[in-house]
């Protein structure tokens, strides 16, 4: 795996996302209620503190100790304690269902729908997050099985609406501008009206 995702503003952090499937999966997990750049830098911060991103080792850590690592400054998230617990849940799920390797979620998948279904089973991965991750795999990681566009929904189109569409500074600016326009139009990332 050697992708083209450009998001954190840090070359080493982006390289980690583009070469380590566990880092990419955890970055997407953290992508809520914080700027994209902060969320996707989280795995590099964790790796620096732990010396690894091994799901089995992370799942085996004492919860309070791992949460403390996530809360160190700079924190990995706006809500580092709850997200630290969620990271451990995802790592435990990877160990139990995917031999401790996020790449196994897509490595032998028959279709985009299959990848989507596997992602949605992960703790913290709802419908939209799973669709965006399918798009990230196809658009930046070279993992584009049959039906990936359908599985990704709106995120599979050519509109620069999410992190899946960012591969350099210029595309990052375009996605930011698109999100700003959506907010002004009171629409979400899938072009649906925002609820009042």
Using the predicted structure, report yes or no on whether residue 23 has a pLDDT greater than 90.
yes
Using the predicted structure, report yes or no on whether residue 1 has a pLDDT greater than 60.
no
For residue 194, the SS3 value is coil
Please tell me the predicted confidence (pLDDT) of residue 195: 66
Q: In this structure, is residue 195 part of a structural domain?
A: no
Q: Domain count of the chain?
A: 1
Q: In this structure, is residue 189 part of a structural domain?
A: no
**Which residues make beta-bridge pairs with 53?**
none
Q: In this structure, is residue 193 part of a structural domain?
A: no
Q: In this structure, is residue 94 part of a structural domain?
A: yes
Q: In this structure, is residue 3 part of a structural domain?
A: no
Using the predicted structure, report yes or no on whether residue 59 has a pLDDT greater than 70.
yes
Compare 187 and 24 and report the one with higher pLDDT: 24
Buried b (16+ CB within 10 A) or exposed e, 145-179: bebbeebbbbbbeeebbbbbbbeeeeebebbeebb
Using the predicted structure, report yes or no on whether residue 84 has a pLDDT greater than 90.
yes
Portion of the chain with pLDDT greater than 70, in percent: 98
Using the predicted structure, report yes or no on whether residue 93 has a pLDDT greater than 60.
yes
Kindly report the pTM of this predicted structure.
0.93
Angle at 33 between CA 170 and CA 189, to 5 degrees: 55
Please tell me the predicted confidence (pLDDT) of residue 2: 78
Domain of 81? 11-184
Q: In this structure, is residue 192 part of a structural domain?
A: no
Q: In this structure, is residue 146 part of a structural domain?
A: yes
Average pLDDT, the chain: 94
CATH of the domain at 88: 1.10.340.30
Please tell me the predicted confidence (pLDDT) of residue 14: 97
Using the predicted structure, report yes or no on whether residue 183 has a pLDDT greater than 70.
yes
Chain segment 100-145, per-residue pLDDT in tens: 999 999 998 999 999 999 999 999 999 999 999 999 999 999 999 9
Q: In this structure, is residue 65 part of a structural domain?
A: yes
């Amino acid at each position: 795996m050697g992708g083209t995702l450009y998001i954190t503003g840090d070359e080493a952090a982006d390289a980690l996302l583009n070469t380590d499937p566990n880092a990419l999966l955890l970055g997407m997990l953290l992508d809520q209620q914080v700027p994209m750049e902060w969320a996707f830098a989280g795995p590099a911060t964790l790796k620096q503190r732990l010396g690894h991103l091994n799901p089995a080792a992370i799942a085996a850590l004492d919860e309070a100790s791992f949460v403390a690592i996530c809360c160190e400054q700079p924190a990995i998230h706006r809500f580092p304690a709850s997200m630290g617990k969620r990271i451990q849940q995802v790592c435990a799920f990877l160990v139990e269902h995917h031999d401790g390797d996020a790449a196994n979620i897509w490595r032998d998948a028959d279709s985009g729908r299959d990848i989507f279904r596997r992602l949605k089973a992960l703790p913290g991965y709802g419908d939209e997050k799973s669709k965006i991750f399918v798009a990230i795999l196809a658009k930046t990681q070279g993992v584009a099985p049959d039906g990936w566009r359908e599985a990704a929904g709106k995120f599979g189109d050519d509109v620069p609406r999410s992190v899946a569409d960012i591969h350099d500074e210029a595309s990052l600016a375009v996605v930011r501008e698109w999100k700003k326009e959506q907010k002004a139009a009171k629409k979400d990332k899938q072009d649906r009206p925002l609820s009042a």
